[in-house]
Amino acid sequence: MLTNRAAPRAAHQTRALCTFACARFVTALLVLLTVSLGRAQTTRDRPNFLLITCEDMGPDLGCYGAHDAKTPRLDALGGEGVRYTAAYANAPVCSPARTALLFGTYQTSLGSSNHRSSPALEPDARGFAGLLRDAGYHCTNGPKMDTNAEGPWRIERRTYEGNTGWWDPARGGRPFLAVRNLEVTHQSRTSVWSRDEYERRVLAQLRAGEIHRPEDVVVPPYYPDTPAVRYELARYANCVTLMDRQAGEILDRLERDGLADDTIVMFFSDHGAGHSYHKCHGFDRGARVPLIVRAPEKWAHMLDGDPGSTNDRVVSFIDIGPTILHAAGIAVPESMHGKPFLGPRARTDRHTYAFSARDRLGEDHDHIRTVMDGRFAYVRAFLPHRPHFVRFGYSFPSAIYQELVRCDETGRLEGAAAAMFDESRPAEALFDLASDPHETRNLAGDPEHASRLNAMRDALRAHLRESRDLGLIPEAILEDRAAGEPRPRLAADPDRLPLDRVHDTAMLVGMGPDVLDRQLAAMEDGHEAVRYWAFAGLRCQDPANARVRAALLGGLDDPSESVRTMAAGGCLHAGIEPDRAESTLMTLLETTDSYDAFSEAARAAQLAGSTDDRFLRALDAANDRWKNYEPSQIASSVRRVRTGEERPAEKGFGVTPRQPRD
């Protein structure tokens, strides 16, 4: 019987009071249990994942042996987890590197290796976060998502957006992936912020004992030792110190919310430091990143090493998604190139090399591939006719960049710093990081290292073929051939895009006179991408050779705008009918309907030294027509050269070398 209507009133009231008291007790208990379960985020058989990322930072933490920045929180994380010493981004700049990370696939295979590009992907393309979401994970990212891709997969992008709901513990046991990106180490903070803004938003947040001063900086040999260079290096170290504190606050929140015992934590940066010859360049230091992985006790068996240990296995961004999927018990798609470094497969399935690719970045068209094994780095420059240092709007605000320009023009550069301004760079470079951490001694011509050079060159050749690298296709040609369809389909169709011939011809560039006959034959190929690399190779041959001169001159009539651009640049470099070559570029700039072809030709004209009014008018017209920033970047640089403003003052640009306050 639930009620007894004949009971005395007093008894009924007593029971009512007891029922009310019990109900309140049960309600309170349920609330406590709900809060407890929410705080514990019980995931049972699936871990949570917290990815703390930062930007534009190499392995410049105390636990990696660096001494400038103060990084106690991340050093402690390294003591609790596994610290990887051979971890790499797959590109030395953010958007292609993050694309590789999101899809677990080389960005070059997706046709997404050009910075801030948006090629279409297959309709069923899935990033690892999307697969986690399909498996019941709550996925968030904040505040930055910076990838190169377009297509229906963008729903996964929305799971990454937003600056709230870091891990949403109120979802009662639903596991999460949370990506928290810290921006204070970005180049915009270390190089572009005004002195006042930097002092207010960085130095004012640090204690006197945490501030790194310019006089304490160790200047690497590829920079001049000047006050402005020291100031910017110290500024970078202070930004790293502040980032360490922010990372610690996130870890504290994880602990405070009762989630640490169920969460695997990863910390890494998006590529190397935002300095000249780091970010945007093909050296090991442009791609090498810190990577720390901490697993709580219940998931510690997944770690490839004991807590507090270091691991020298080669890992890169393509491995992070497969690693998380594997640790979550989700099948890793065959389309992903990465290999897990957590879980049962971690100890047996691994890479020999990491691969990084640098293609078009802003207005700068370049092609570099880097092969790294943790100790040695093989750098293949496919446009070796260029110097390491070129005018580049992306880096112009940096005091280091400004000082490099100023010291070069005043003859104050020496040794490794001066070599970066040589008229050309080696097509192949091999560096031993153990004996040469600054990558200043090229061992490519050393007979003692010939076998290693050959092995790493062969590894690159195999990688280009196996990964179907689309990044070596000039952007204008790739865009025209793809015509809006997913670019991986183009890579799989040798009739439309003979990638093997393209790669083989590109690998001939800079390899000396013995390959000249093959290059001359390739310039007759029916595909413009093959001809492009034939002419790139001819630019590196002896300009006094009559066959080379005749071939370059003939390229000015090629039906492909990209090929004409390469041939015109070669003619200007070799002094072959320079008026006709320059006119070829200017006519293309004024008549092309392709923005990508315009961008290639404009950069070629700029690097050839064009500064006349006709060039500037073409740049201004392109800026009005396409509303893109690259033509204006080039125009600004050209105008600075014309007015003498490209030569900065002693103090550098936007900063002064005076000491920061305590």
Average pLDDT over residues 616-640: 93
Structure confidence at residue 168 as a pLDDT band (50, 70, 90): low
Torsion of CA 635, 636, 639, 643, to 10 degrees: -170
Give tens-digit pLDDT for 385-407.
999 999 888 788 899 999 999 99
Question: What pLDDT is attached to residue 50?
Answer: 94
- Give, in degrees to the nearest 5, the angle at Cα 535 between 532 and 540: 135
Within-domain flag for 8: no
Number of independent structural domains in the chain: 2
| Res 657 pLDDT > 60 | no
Question: What pLDDT is attached to residue 152?
Answer: 45
Within-domain flag for 657: no
Give tens-digit pLDDT for 551-566.
999 999 999 999 999 9
Structure confidence at residue 149 as a pLDDT band (50, 70, 90): confident
Question: What pLDDT is attached to residue 4?
Answer: 32
Average pLDDT over residues 602-621: 96
Domain boundary among 572, 594, 610: 610
Question: What pLDDT is attached to residue 346?
Answer: 80
Q: Are 242 and 205 in contact (CB under 8 A)?
A: yes
Within-domain flag for 37: no
Which pTM was predicted? Answer: 0.90
Question: What pLDDT is attached to residue 13?
Answer: 34
- By residue range, what is the domain housing residue 286? 60-357
Per-residue b or e along 527-555, where b marks 16 or more CB atoms closer than 10 Å to that residue's CB: bbbbbbbbbbbbbbbebeeeebbebbbeb
Q: Is residue 335 located within the same domain as residue 478?
A: no
Structure tokens at 543: 């300009």
| Res 587 pLDDT > 80 | yes
Q: Is residue 351 located within the same domain as residue 479?
A: no
Question: What pLDDT is attached to residue 141?
Answer: 80
DSSP code string of 7-37: S-HHHHHHHHHHHHHHHHHHHHHHHHHHHHH
Helix (H) or strand (E) holding 354: strand 354-358
Within-domain flag for 639: no
Q: Are 471 and 479 in contact (CB under 8 A)?
A: no
| Res 108 pLDDT > 70 | yes
Length of the chain counted residue by residue:
662
Range with the poorest average pLDDT among 113-117, 371-375, 381-385, 462-466: 113-117
Within-domain flag for 411: no
Using DSSP's 3-state secondary structure scheme, residue 621 falls into helix
Question: What pLDDT is attached to residue 171?
Answer: 55
Average pLDDT over residues 302-306: 93
Question: What pLDDT is attached to residue 392?
Answer: 84
Average pLDDT over residues 347-370: 94
Using DSSP's 3-state secondary structure scheme, residue 120 falls into strand
- Give, in degrees to the nearest 5, the angle at Cα 344 between 340 and 347: 70
Give tens-digit pLDDT for 456-511.
999 999 999 999 999 999 999 999 998 888 888 989 999 899 999 999 999 999 99
Question: In this prediction, what percent of the chain has a pLDDT beyond 90?
Answer: 75
Within-domain flag for 216: yes
DSSP code string of 300-330: GGGSSS-TT-EEEEEEEGGGHHHHHHHHTT-
Average pLDDT over residues 317-341: 96
Q: Is residue 274 located within the same domain as residue 131?
A: yes
Burial of 662 (0-12, 13-18, 19+ CB in 10 A): exposed
Closest by CA to 401, choosing from 90, 216, 640, is 640
| Res 319 pLDDT > 80 | yes
Closest by CA to 587, choosing from 608, 557, 611, is 557
Alpha helices per DSSP H over 222-271 = 227-256
Which CATH number belongs to the domain containing residue 92 in this structure?
Answer: 3.40.720.10
Q: Is residue 477 located within the same domain as residue 353?
A: no
Give tens-digit pLDDT for 425-464.
999 999 999 999 999 999 999 999 999 999 999 999 999 9
Structure tokens at 143: 């505040």
Q: Are 356 and 466 in contact (CB under 8 A)?
A: no
| Res 7 pLDDT > 50 | no
Average pLDDT over residues 54-62: 98
Query: What is the spatial order of strands in the sheet that 48-54 belongs to?
Result: 138-142, 176-182, 48-54, 263-269, 288-294, 82-88, 310-316
- Residue 93 to residues 118, 274, 377, 528, Cα–Cα distance (Å): 15, 9, 18, 28
Within-domain flag for 137: yes
| Res 155 pLDDT > 70 | no
Closest by CA to 302, choosing from 131, 82, 76, is 82
Within-domain flag for 458: no
Give tens-digit pLDDT for 217-240.
999 999 999 999 999 999 999 999
DSSP code string of 48-72: EEEEEEESS--S-SGGGT--SS--H
Range with the poorest average pLDDT among 10-24, 272-286, 500-514, 613-627: 10-24
Q: Are 331 and 295 in contact (CB under 8 A)?
A: no
Closest by CA to 382, choosing from 488, 461, 279, 492, is 461
Question: What pLDDT is attached to residue 151?
Answer: 53
- CB atoms closer than 10 angstroms to residue 200: 12
Phi and psi, residue 310, nearest 5°: -110, 155
Q: Is residue 234 located within the same domain as residue 85?
A: yes
| Res 122 pLDDT > 70 | yes
